[in-house]
Amino acid sequence: MAKYMLIMRATDEAVSAYEEIPFEQVIEAMGKYNESLMAAGVMVGGDGLAPEPGVIVDFSTNPPVVTDGPYGETKELFNGFWLLEVPTIEDAAEWAKRCPLGPGSKLEVRRVTGVEDFPADNEWIQKEAEWREQLGR
């Protein structure tokens, strides 16, 4: 078993198209999807990102530049994620396929690292484990 993150991204057009659909309908479709993840016992967590624009901190210069955005060259907005616990990436991809999203939307499926991915004797890795404990996660 491993944890996988389904990272939701959509083009501006897809986000606008989504806003055309009645909110009740969207929330019901997502609610049913989340319910199916709960009923299958694979849901670990997830969150959405608010639609209003944020800011971009760009490290191309020193010091980095803070601008409004993302606009312009950004083709896809990152707007939410799910965390699932399943045996293989194929299971995660299969769950991703069932998500009620439309054209212009994408889900990227990535494995979440665990303690076993890092050297247990590194002091920063040990500190991180303590922080997780403090944070209750």
Residues forming contacts to other proteins in the complex (CB under 8 A) are: 1, 32, 36, 38-42, 44-45, 85-91, 93-95, 114-116, 120, 126, 129-130, 132-133, 135-137
The least CB distance from residue 52 to other proteins, in Å, is 29
Looking at the DSSP bridge assignments, the partners of residue 47 are 81
* Rg of the chain on CA atoms, in Å: 18
CA dist., res. 50 & res. 79, Å (int): 7
Query: Which CB atom, from 54 or from 127, has the smaller least distance to other proteins?
Result: 127
Query: Which CB atom, from 27 or from 65, has the smaller least distance to other proteins?
Result: 27
CA dist., res. 11 & res. 90, Å (int): 25
The least CB distance from residue 136 to other proteins, in Å, is 6
Query: Which CB atom, from 40 or from 65, has the smaller least distance to other proteins?
Result: 40
CA dist., res. 31 & res. 14, Å (int): 20
